[in-house]
Amino acid sequence: MISRKTLPNAARWFRTEISLSCTTWSGPDTARAHEARVRHVDIILMLLAVALPWSTSVTGILGVVVAFCILLNARVELLLTSLKRPASVLPLALLLLAATGTTWADGVSWPERLTGVGKMAKLLLLPLLLVHYQSSQRAKWIFAAFVASSGVLLVHSFLVSAFPALAITTRLDQPGIPVKNYIDQSQGFVVIAVALAALAFEAAARLKYYLAALLAITSCAFLANLVFINVARSAFLYAPLMFVLLMVRYLSRTKVLLGLVGLGLVCGGLWSASPNLQRKVTAIFTEASAYQPDAPIGEKQPSVALRLEFWRKSLNFFEAAPLLGNGTGSIRSLFERDAVGRAGVSALVVANPHNQTLAAAVQWGALGLIAIWAMWIAHVHLFRGSELVAWIGMLATVQNIASSMFNSHLADFYEGWLYVLFVGIAGGELLRIRQDTAASGGSDAPAPGLCRANRPPAVAEEDPGDEPLNYPRRRKSCERRLEMGGRVRPRSEQAKPMHQ
């Protein structure tokens, strides 16, 4: 039960926190005030992560608030240092290009130009998160909040598939989707499923088998929803890539080959057992083979045929303005002009060519192509390393690149925010870990997320005289020493008995 003193103590703590955050900028309590503001940013980001699978408006409002709070609290030297990193400056360069592109968008209304800038505005938060999480150690809070919120969505999705009336937004063409759409839901569920599978491997390596089983079961629940309830067809590209990354991290080369064969067999079995997958896969080939630019559109729009037509037109628009493009927000007006006198698929007018590279090329020409791919490459380069947080950041980056082949997933709301959060938070945490390691003199302690007993050979070299690192007793000793803050010494370094 809550005691009588609980609420007054909570109110007193809240007043103290607010007072420190808002009024203390110098003096002996400056450090405490800075830490309080860092903590408050983390709490706001947790709320943002909880809201992301459910609400666009709440997510957008919290995004503005958190950007303001980080700018208010960040140390100037960290901000300036961050601008020297390509991973930080290239998202800002892409946003600046989008803002500048409004000046040469001829024949485009200003609301459309500003809408185009607004779709890329979330990139402003990415370098700020890289700065913030060099000071905060609560990155796990935000990831845990997102997984928990998506877990509630997972349960709701299963319920909606059985009882459609429970859906928040009812769409007959999207069964099992309680809110937003199946593309957004698939994007979040896949990255969570693969990340939880990785955490299950990590827990098993530490002999925490109950935790590993719980994580594996939860991962399978997310995958089951994708297989049997609803899934975006773009997931057929990025999900296998992400599972290959998982196998490369945790399996030897021989086991990776066996794993690929096993993955193919599992996919074949799931396809034969799931009417949902059969319908989705069959539709891809049916729609692609029946594609005709002037073919009439039925009640259900053929998404594959539409994409092929959008890409064909977008390439023509890019060829017309190859250097600077047609300006920010110009996509809809270009499709409107081209649709005059046409019929069927070629007469459709859209503001999204369903390919992020083409969306950048149409609006900003070759400069846009260079900017967007330079940013992706910089983030891939940032996440090279054996740390678990680096691998999670790489996972999110690869997913966004792959899914952007069939959608504009930097400009789209949910997928763009997912990319910003994962890359910004994981990148900031990774930079903090590497800075701490460098400051401690490059200790040979295992990288975070990997025990020495589970390190890849490229990271940890075994001493010839040492006993196998996967020996259970040796691995348990490794874990115990690491938890006590010590280092794991090879047997060749250990003291010899006096009589020798």
Residue of higher predicted confidence among 339 and 26:
339
> Cα torsion for 133, 135, 141, 144, to the nearest 10°?
30
Whole-number pLDDT of residue 465: 41
Residue of higher predicted confidence among 67 and 35:
67
Residue of higher predicted confidence among 90 and 5:
90
pLDDT (average), residues 111-138: 92
Taking alpha carbons only, the member of 267, 271, 309 closest to residue 288 is: 309
In this prediction, residue 446 has a pLDDT band, given cuts at 50, 70 and 90, of: very low
* Range in 181-195, 198-212, 476-490 the model is least confident about: 476-490
Whole-number pLDDT of residue 298: 57
Cα distance from N-terminal residue to C-terminal residue, the chain: 64
In this prediction, residue 467 has a pLDDT band, given cuts at 50, 70 and 90, of: very low
* Range in 231-240, 310-319, 409-418, 474-483 the model is least confident about: 474-483
| Alpha carbon distances (Å) from 321 to 154, 330, 391 | 44, 12, 38
What are the residue boundaries of the structural domains of the chain, listed by start? 40-439
Question: pLDDT digits over 352-375, tens only?
Answer: 899 999 999 999 999 999 999 999
Give SS3 for 407. coil
Whole-number pLDDT of residue 426: 94
In this prediction, residue 211 has a pLDDT band, given cuts at 50, 70 and 90, of: very high
Measured distance CA(249)–CA(257) in Å, rounded: 13
The first and second tokens of residue 18, run together, are: 């607010």
Question: pLDDT digits over 248-307, tens only?
Answer: 888 877 877 887 787 778 777 776 777 777 777 777 767 666 666 666 665 566 677 788
Measured distance CA(339)–CA(294) in Å, rounded: 11
Judged against a pLDDT cut of 60, whether residue 418 lies above it is answered with: yes
**Which of 13-17, 106-110, 123-127 is the most confident on average?**
123-127
Residue of higher predicted confidence among 234 and 470:
234
**CA atoms within 13 Å, Cβ hemisphere of 431:** 23
Residue of higher predicted confidence among 347 and 394:
394
Judged against a pLDDT cut of 50, whether residue 124 lies above it is answered with: yes
- How would you class 190 by CB atoms within 10 Å of its CB: exposed for 0-12, middle for 13-18, buried for 19 or more? buried
Q: Find where tokens 């007793």 sit.
A: 473
In this prediction, residue 11 has a pLDDT band, given cuts at 50, 70 and 90, of: low
Measured distance CA(350)–CA(347) in Å, rounded: 10
> Cα torsion for 43, 45, 48, 49, to the nearest 10°?
-100
The first and second tokens of residue 276, run together, are: 């949902």
**Which of 300-304, 341-345, 347-351, 389-393 is the most confident on average?**
389-393
Give SS3 for 259. helix
Q: How many CB atoms lie within 10 A of CB 238?
A: 26
Whole-number pLDDT of residue 80: 86
Tell whether pTM > 0.85.
no
In this prediction, residue 81 has a pLDDT band, given cuts at 50, 70 and 90, of: confident
Q: Find where tokens 């910003």 sit.
A: 420
Judged against a pLDDT cut of 70, whether residue 437 lies above it is answered with: yes
Measured distance CA(487)–CA(500) in Å, rounded: 25
Measured distance CA(416)–CA(303) in Å, rounded: 21
Whole-number pLDDT of residue 272: 72
- Are 420 and 460 a contacting pair, CB within 8 Å? no
- Are 176 and 167 a contacting pair, CB within 8 Å? no
Whole-number pLDDT of residue 289: 66
Whole-number pLDDT of residue 5: 61
- How would you class 99 by CB atoms within 10 Å of its CB: exposed for 0-12, middle for 13-18, buried for 19 or more? middle
Residue of higher predicted confidence among 262 and 62:
62
Whole-number pLDDT of residue 430: 94
Query: How much of the chain, in percent, has pLDDT values that exceed 70?
Result: 77
pLDDT (average), residues 368-391: 94
In this prediction, residue 469 has a pLDDT band, given cuts at 50, 70 and 90, of: very low
Whole-number pLDDT of residue 499: 45
Taking alpha carbons only, the member of 43, 41, 25 closest to residue 33 is: 25
- Considering the chain, what is the average pLDDT of its residues? 81
Residues ≥6 apart with Cβ < 8 Å to 300: 173
Question: DSSP secondary structure string, 188-227?
Answer: HHHHHHHHHHHHHHHHHHTT-HHHHHHHHHHHHHHHHHHH
- Are 288 and 302 a contacting pair, CB within 8 Å? no
Whole-number pLDDT of residue 379: 96
In this prediction, residue 460 has a pLDDT band, given cuts at 50, 70 and 90, of: very low
pLDDT (average), residues 230-258: 84
Judged against a pLDDT cut of 60, whether residue 484 lies above it is answered with: no
